[in-house]
Amino acid sequence: MGGDGNSAYGHKTFSRSRSHFGDRITADGRDGWPVAAGRYRLVVSRACPWASRAVVSRRLLGLEDALPMAVADPVQDDRSWRFTLDPGGRDPVLGIRFLSEAYDKRETGYPGGVSVPAVVDVPSGRLVTNDYQRLTLDLATEWTELHREGAPDLYPAGRRDEIDAVMAEVYADVNNGVYRAGFATHQEEYEEACAAVFRRLELLAERLAGQRYLVGDTITEADIRLFTTLVRFDAVYHGHFKCNRWKLAENPVLWAYARDLFQTPGFGDTVDFDHIKRHYYQVHTGINPTGIVPLGPDLGGWLTPHHRQGLGGRPFGEGKPPGPPAPGERVAARGRPA
């Protein structure tokens, strides 16, 4: 999620930028960046759905020690993502105040936006990649030597074509579709995007009515990518982005599916609703000029029974769930449902 031009949202047609830095961190190091425990730092915002994919994947795969994480302040200033949550306003490992400093070390005068997730090479302080589409796939397939015992296979080889097809539809109509609706500059543009969001959600509900997960009987990358939008739906997309034909909590299938994932270790324990709401309502001044953050909705329902176990499925396949988050990675209590 970029950090430039937030005041312009709602005043110009929305177009998501492609990731400019597409280097990959691989087992064989073919792009010059070999997988190595402790060499890289994952920079995220808990507010950002694209970054949250990486946070969830990292937890499920047990890469917390191998790939340490920096969490940016959800409220940006004109220099974009900043480390004001850390003592002294600097990331304690990279020693920088703003993520843009790592971008500048990679390419001086880079004209694009500063986005998360981003992976930074600790020894050099240079950005390695901001390719949010590829990053999590590589965590699942290239970092396998560093996965925890019992880690799930989030991108199984025999299912990749189906996973890719589902993810492409979810991306176009849901992940990116809510932004197209929320940042629309005229009525027709908004209505087209909003209609596509709900048309896809209804198709997904039909698919999930008879199966617990999107592809196969285990959690895959496709579920992670849908979850990070669904968990934000009622809190920000329904009101702030005007995707309000119905709430997630009003769709029995999708609401139960989202709660099932939320209550699965590695999903809900990474979610910070406080960061999510403050970022969207305070940063997107082009569509919320007052910066007022709404009190609702009531988030307590995320912990209610979902009854999806009756559909079968094995969340972690032949593996097992991750343990509890490390003390330094726990979400603050105010960010969790009551």
Rounded to whole angstroms, the Cα distance separating 246 from 195 reads 12
Take residue 79 and report the two structure tokens written for it: 């220099």
The one catalytic residue in 9, 40, 103, 179 is: 179
How many beta carbons lie within 10 A of that of residue 273, not counting itself? 21
From the number of C-beta atoms within 10 Å of its C-beta (0-12, 13-18, 19+), residue 313 rates as: middle
Rounded to whole angstroms, the Cα distance separating 4 from 81 reads 10
Q: Catalytic: 237?
A: no
Q: Catalytic: 243?
A: no
The one catalytic residue in 9, 48, 132, 237 is: 48
Rounded to whole angstroms, the Cα distance separating 142 from 155 reads 11
Residues in the chain: 338
Is 243 in contact with 181 (CB distance < 8 Å)?
A: yes
Residues in contact with 106: Cβ distance below 8 Å, sequence separation at least 6, in sequence order: 21, 126, 127, 128
Q: Residue for token digits 């949250």?
A: 52
Element (H, E) at 40: strand 40-44
Strand order in the sheet with 118-121: 69-71, 40-44, 118-121, 126-129
Is 286 in contact with 6 (CB distance < 8 Å)?
A: yes
Half-sphere exposure of 159 (CA within 13 A, CB side): 17
- Active site positions, annotated: 48, 179
